[in-house]
Structure 1
Amino acid sequence: MPYRGAHPPKGSGFHRYVFMVFKQAGQIELTKELQAKFLLETNRPKFEIRNFAAEHNFSPRPVAGNFYRAQNTDS
Structure 2
Amino acid sequence: MGDFDGAAARARAGLVREIEESGVWADDARWRDAFARVPRHLFVPYYFVGVPGGHERLWREDPDPGRRARWLRGAYA
TM-score (norm 1): 0.22
More helix by share: 2
